[in-house]
Amino acid sequence: MMKQNDKYNHFPTKAEDKKSLSVSVKKTASKLTNFINKRRELHVPEDKSLDKIVPGFEDNIVSMRNVKIAYKRGMDERVVVDDFSLDIKRGEIFGLVGESGSGKTTVGRTIMRMIPIKSGEILFNGHRISGKIPRITQRELKSKVQLIFQDPSASLNDRANVDYIISEGIRAFHMYDGEDDRLDKVEKMLQEVGLRPEHLRRYPHEFSGGQRQRIGIARCMIMNPEMVVADEPISALDVSIRAQVLNLIKKFQIEKKMTVLFIAHDLSVVKYISDRIGVIYDGRLVELADANRLFEMPFHPYTKSLLSAVPIPDPREEKNKKIITYDPRMHHYRYDDLPSFYEVEPGHFVRANKAELAKYQKMLAKERRNKK
């Protein structure tokens, strides 16, 4: 055996030399493999690009599977969205409705990778976009999914003029051929959102709230996104101009065949614009259905409470209407009959336990009998 002090006087034998050489070769080889893998990850083959829809995902642009999202605060962690599963169909306007703090913004921003998820999975065109993904895919996603903010005054850089603000995205992604083409694109977009070419040199503070939101929409739409997350885009606006901005979003959705996740905190806003509506309470989806069907046949008591708050055009009826309040304790869920998200009728899902599900099915049977 070699003593500690003999270490430096020891001349390695042939066998020891061979062993140390093989260790260093292995180390170099593993470093090289890591390097090659990293390069491979950066170069995404064409079939891995988000453009190429994975077979089976032709209908759904975004699929969220059992997503859990938590915010960390020091050592503490608070789960704000849990067991969240949702498919957003290609080309639809999906309305996500719920009260303040229910997790709507968190869900929207998670799709854009602005907030990481704790568990579950998010797919875009069938490709996983949650967790660790190649940088090139992140960049692709950044150009394909755009965000319209709630407060246009806070989201626009006050020190940049309209031309600069609208061009920011196409500059970052080199989406034009020369300065003339860029200007042409910006002017066209300005016109499409109802602003004039002379507005190009002005600054956000020189515009009204509605106009600022139009600038925000132009900044988004110039990117030709496949999907837009509109996070309460009209809440901060004057009631008189809300319909105009809603119509503008709807116009782009139809013309460009894009998908919209429209976030709102009351049902009256999403009623006219959405194809389908999801109701979120305390970070969980409680009901999901076609917009008309949700208004016609709501099941979950929280959906009913939201519906009871929708304004009625008739002033007399509006005065006498009863607003239903929702208390989650009313369910009396027991450990042996916990709630799950069930499809009560085709395309209509509700969070319920077995006893509630039976009640909802009876309601449906009654409706069918009445219709006969």
- Using CB under 6 A, list all residues that contact ligand ATP: 71, 80, 98, 100-106, 265
The smaller minimum CB distance to Mg ion, of residues 149 and 252, is found at: 149
| CA-based torsion, 39, 45, 50, 55: positive or negative | negative
Token pair of 176 as six digits = 């034009």
Selection from Mg ion, ligand ATP, none that 137 binds (CB < 5 to 8 A by kind) is: none
**Rounded to whole angstroms, what are the CA distances from 60 to 108, 131, 353?**
16, 20, 28
The smaller minimum CB distance to ligand ATP, of residues 97 and 222, is found at: 97
The smaller minimum CB distance to ligand ATP, of residues 108 and 210, is found at: 108
Q: Exposure string (b/e) for 63-74, b if CB count within 10 Å is 16 or more? A: bbbebebbeeee
Selection from Mg ion, ligand ATP, none that 106 binds (CB < 5 to 8 A by kind) is: ligand ATP
Selection from Mg ion, ligand ATP, none that 265 binds (CB < 5 to 8 A by kind) is: ligand ATP
In the complex, the smallest distance separating the C-beta of residue 146 from Mg ion, rounded to whole angstroms, is: 17
* SS3 state at 108: helix
* SS3 state at 175: coil
Among 46-54, 98-106, 288-296, 362-370, which window interacts with Mg ion (CB under 5 A)? Answer: 98-106
The smaller minimum CB distance to ligand ATP, of residues 169 and 283, is found at: 283
167 binds Mg ion (CB under 5 A): no
Selection from ligand ATP, Mg ion, none that 127 binds (CB < 5 to 8 A by kind) is: none
Going by C-beta distance under 8 Å and a sequence separation of 6 or more, which residues neighbour residue 209? 152, 153, 236, 237, 238, 241
Selection from ligand ATP, Mg ion, none that 100 binds (CB < 5 to 8 A by kind) is: ligand ATP
Site for Mg ion in 322-341 (CB under 5 A): none
Which 8-state DSSP code applies to residue 337?
Answer: B
Among 34-42, 103-111, 115-123, 214-222, which window interacts with Mg ion (CB under 5 A)? Answer: 103-111
Number of residues in the chain: 372
The smaller minimum CB distance to ligand ATP, of residues 148 and 344, is found at: 148
The smaller minimum CB distance to ligand ATP, of residues 107 and 357, is found at: 107
CA 107 – CA 86 distance, rounded (Å):
10
Interface residue with Mg ion, options 102, 105, 146, 167 (CB under 5 A): 105
Token pair of 210 as six digits = 């509605």
Whether residue 297 contacts residue 360, with contact meaning beta carbons closer than 8 Å, is answered with: no
CA 148 – CA 215 distance, rounded (Å):
10
Q: Footprint of Mg ion on this chain (CB under 5 A)? A: 105
